[in-house]
Chains A and B, each alone.
Chain A
């Protein structure tokens, strides 16, 4: 009785060891196959880290990211100033004409402003 029980226990342990060996072998083969597959098929470009802002014209400040960058490449080419940032509340109209091949820039102050100088 004890001998039968001991034999059964040894058979059971042997089966478990056999299964473990097969499992380990399968894991080794699976890992190797995955590594080979990844080596031949890298992640698609869409999941890569976005290009640095500086590549599209935006510089990075000392304190963090910029909002300017990737958008800067997709609009039309515009060479002349379209607006003027100047003292609060006073706007300057900048008009550009081409006369005889020369660019003539005219600036007109729109809002009344007083200065003593």
Chain B
């Protein structure tokens, strides 16, 4: 911890992180199977922001986790299909997932849940046997997002369809959390919330924007080096096939499923970082870019989204105004494709 930093309290298991700047306060904790991080200015707002983010993430976990037997989503799956009246929060999360599927032309699809399970991703990633010798099962067919109907809070889920909101849920969580935190601060100062590297900001950013590192994990040990960019509004998210990998019978698996095949996505890009007005949109676009493969650049360009694509050979392609050099502001486009038909992002709890 920075010795010069003011003494601040964090809610629960939040740990202060010293970044070298006393003008902002940063803390992080384990959450949703990954790490949540909060950065705020003025630093005195850190405790309230952390407590608010805790509340938001706890609610989201109870709504949308497919790894919790007591979550609302697991309850739907256990019922084996039917018509359900969802909570406002889960209705929003499912609505965003379906809107993202429509927007990305099915490159993200919330009905890949059964396919992910057949590939071996059937529990929290930390609990997966990552060297399982059993051969992978035949990938389960992806029913397709068009078979799921959502009318307000009313969901019609066909029997056997399991939802996985992984392409959008963390983005939804970051959107909700950052809006709740800036609201708790009385809309003064600025807040950044990161959920496993999917980042949303709200309020007034630091001068020149929030400094954010764009990196691959694990360290590729070669090009490209991490890049520092600045985010003044909106969100940025990264998807990659270089992590959350496991073996099944000698076959390497990863967590981004191509809905067209039910198998881990191939294609020329190993990592995609995308900026957008909301984190759910950035999250969906980054996953869609990996799945789109050779069509990723043209799709991202047509959508006007700033993006940084990293090929399997380490070559970097910057699109839509994504800065080619470190330290520059990402020009985040206005607009919204995934909260269409739902309440405002972060509204429903």
Contact = CB atoms under 8 A, between A and B. Distances in A.
Interface in B1-56: 2, 17-21, 23-24, 26, 28, 30, 33-35, 37, 39, 41
Interface residues of B, number: 84
Contacts of A61: 304, 306, 320-321, 331, 333
A40 B247 CA distance: 77
A100 interface: no
B164 interface: no
Contact of A66 (B2, B28, B39, B332): B332
B198 A85 contact: yes
A46 to B, nearest CB: 20
B63 interface: no
Interface string A61-86: 11111111101111111111111111
Contacts of A87: 197, 216-217, 238-240, 242-244, 271
B199 A83 contact: yes
Instruction: Classify the interface of chain A: helix, strand, loop or mixed.
Output: loop
A72 B218 contact: no
Interface stretch (B73-81, B133-141, B228-236): B228-236
A50 interface: no
Contacts of B214: 84-86
Given A90-B197, A90-B244, A85 B212 contact: yes
B269 interface: no
B331 A68 contact: yes
Given A66-B333, A76-B41, A83 B245 contact: no
Interface in A91-117: 91-98, 103, 107, 109-117
B206 interface: yes
A89 B19 contact: no
Contacts of B24: 76, 78, 82
B298 interface: no
A83 B192 contact: yes
A55 interface: no
Interface string B190-212: 10101011110000111111111
Interface string B257-282: 00000000000000101000100000
Contacts of A112: 125-126
Contacts of B306: 61
Contacts of A78: 21, 23-24, 41, 206-207, 210-211
B317 interface: no
A65 B170 contact: no
B17 A93 contact: yes
Interface of B: 2, 17-21, 23-24, 26, 28, 30, 33-35, 37, 39, 41, 125-126, 130, 166, 170, 189-190, 192, 194, 196-199, 204-218, 226, 228, 230-234, 236-240, 242-247, 252, 255, 271, 273, 277, 283, 286-287, 301, 303-304, 306, 320-321, 329-335
Interface of A: 53, 57-69, 71-98, 103, 107, 109-117
27 contacts: A58-B331, A63-B333, A66-B333, A67-B233, A68-B232, A69-B232, A75-B205, A76-B24, A76-B206, A76-B207, A81-B212, A81-B228, A82-B192, A83-B210, A87-B238, A88-B170, A88-B196, A88-B244, A89-B170, A89-B243, A90-B197, A90-B243, A93-B35, A97-B2, A111-B35, A115-B218, A116-B245
